[in-house]
Amino acid sequence: MRPIVDARLREIETLYRSRFTHFVRVATAVTGDRELALDAVHDAFAGAVRGRRGFRREGPLEAWLWRAVVNAALKAREREVVETRVRRIDVERDGYVTGSGELGAVIAALPERQRLALFLRYYADLDYRGIAVALGVEVGTVSATLSAAHTAVRRALEEVTR
């Protein structure tokens, strides 16, 4: 059993090193704060290393890690005192999701599942199966969620340009 655990640890480390900036981008999008995001990514990976034996191969390891990062970011956000419910985000600045902008405001106003699905699809570049594992939903739910998010964003941006 030990060699499998060590191999899994190496896989986790490889994903951490190769996808760190992507994990931080999504966590920043969820928390609205880069420092909170860094803490969330750290907490998620520390938990993944400790709980690596719990990975049951029901999906890809990367999707399992994404779920850990998203959950850690949600917990970090919940701990923060938030003065306003709508977060204004800007996808232009430094490749991170912070600041303000029309697109950011539209995305911030989406329901949480839609926002998370968008972040995981376009920042993390996960496929529908990976997003499903990360969010703990069915693949069909991911498809419907992304479709609804795209429609909402399109309509809102059309209203802004009128």
**What's the pLDDT tens digit per position in 27-67?**
999 998 999 999 999 999 999 999 888 888 778 889 999 99
Q: What is the pLDDT of residues 110-119, one digit of tens each?
A: 999 999 999 9
**Secondary structure class of 90 (helix, strand, coil):** strand
pTM of this prediction? 0.62
Q: Report d(CA 148, CA 131) in Å as an integer.
A: 15
Mean pLDDT of 136-145: 94
Q: Is 148 in a helix, a strand, or coil?
A: helix
SS (H, E, C) 17-76: HHHHHHHHHHHHHHHCCHHHHHHHHHHHHHHHHHCHHHCCCCCCHHHHHHHHHHHHHHHH
As to burial, measured by CB atoms within 10 angstroms (0-12 exposed, 13-18 middle, 19+ buried), residue 137 is: middle
What's the pLDDT band for 4 if we cut at 50, 70, 90?
low
Number of neighbouring beta carbons within 10 Å of residue 124: 21
Q: Are 139 and 128 in contact (CB under 8 A)?
A: yes
Q: Could you give the C-alpha distances from 69 to 16, 19, 100, 106, in angstroms and in order?
A: 11, 12, 24, 23
Percentage of the chain exceeding pLDDT 90: 51
What's the pLDDT score for residue 56? 80
How far apart CA 19 and CA 66 sit, in angstroms, is 10
- pLDDT confidence of residue 89: 40
